[in-house]
Amino acid sequence: MKGWIALDIDGTITGDKYSVPGPVVDYLRELQNKGWNLAIATGRSCGFALKALSTFDFPYRLLVQNGSAALAMPSKDLLYKCYLSESAIALMEKAFEGIVGNFLVYSGIERGGKCYYRPDQLSKAQREYVSRLEEREAEAACPVDTFHEIEDFPLIKCFGSESEMIKLANKLRQIGIFQVAHIRDPFEKNGQLLLVTDFHASKGETLQAMMLREGRGPKVIAAADDENDISLLEQADVKIVMPQAPALLKKQADFVAPPVSELGIITALKWATHNAD
């Protein structure tokens, strides 16, 4: 094994919701055949991620819902999970006091990757957002009266304006039991998201769990484009960052890739793997 290549999806290997460009898939297959272990790490649920990865016909590890779970592909065997408990709901509701916005609760693959929401607590605009999300992800958005009957779950997704999400993120981090990533919504213009997981669930920690399980190899390469990828980059010997990434990520970069529209990940990985050989 030459090592690991860990890649974000949106804005890194593709700019499309439902596919990865053929030349990128072909190059990743070539790297896997040469002895690289591949990990695809995303904030998406499993079902939504697999819509984009449908042409991946080679083995890889899929790290979903911001590292809350890892699956062996193509078998979909669950290798690792780190979920929130029902007690997180009350803490989230307390943190939302005085905040304009709302949140959704996602189940894991073992419960069908559902997205739970409380319709009576959503404004008209927020209900429209949930409808667009359900159409986009083609997964069940399930109305519930309360979240308190959901025993454990991988991810809470908070949405609102940038200023409100910054305030909420600060409050959640002070609680000390959450991993909180503030990112741009890749599918909603001017949209802002907080991806909230267990404190020990992140892309980086889950990649580390895979490496402990399967071996690290001599080199780890990671490529990413947003705040929820910081932990992933921290695990890497070679850090690739996309050009639209926040300044915080660019400061860590060994290589800033060309844009995803130019298949920039191929250029970056050729540079990184050549230097690793």
pLDDT tens digits for range 71-92:
999 999 999 999 999 999 999 9
pLDDT score at 75: 95
d(CA 84, CA 137) in angstroms, rounded, equals: 22
Residues 204-210, mean pLDDT to the nearest whole number: 97
| Full set of structural domains in the chain with CATH | 3-82+202-276 (3.40.50.1000), 84-198 (3.30.1240.10)
Per-residue pLDDT of 26-75, as tens digits, reads 999 999 999 999 999 999 989 899 999 999 999 999 999 999 999 999 99
- What is the arrangement of strands in the sheet containing 255-256, beginning at the earlier edge strand? 77-81, 69-73, 60-64, 36-41, 3-7, 219-224, 238-241, 255-256
> CA-to-CA distance for 175 and 40, rounded, in angstroms?
30
| Ramachandran angles phi, psi of 118, nearest 5° | -110, 100
The 10s digit of each residue's pLDDT in 264-275 is 999 999 999 986
Mean pLDDT of the 98-119 span: 90
Task: Return the pLDDT at 277.
Answer: 57
Lowest mean pLDDT among 12-21, 165-174, 179-188, 234-243: 179-188
Averaged pLDDT for residues 199-203 = 94
pLDDT exceeds 80 at position 93: yes
Give the lowest-confidence range in 87-96, 145-154, 161-170: 145-154
pTM: 0.90
The chain-wide mean pLDDT, for the chain, equals: 94
Which pLDDT does position 276 carry in this prediction?
59
Question: Which of 78, 58, 81 shows the shortest CA–CA distance to 68?
Answer: 81
Burial pattern 159-185, b for ≥16 Cβ within 10 A else e, equals bbeeebbebbbebbeeeeebbbbbbbe
- At residue 139, does pLDDT exceed 80? no
Dihedral, CA of residue 257, residue 263, residue 266 and residue 268, to nearest 10: 0
* Region of residue 65 (left: phi > 0; alpha: psi -120 to 50; beta: else): left
Q: How far, CA to CA in Å, does 176 sit from each of 36, 66, 111, 200?
A: 36, 18, 27, 11
Interstrand relation of 69-73 and 77-81 (parallel, antiparallel or unpaired): antiparallel
Amino acid 138: pLDDT: 66
Q: Let me know: does 116 contact 142? Beta carbons within 8 Å.
A: yes
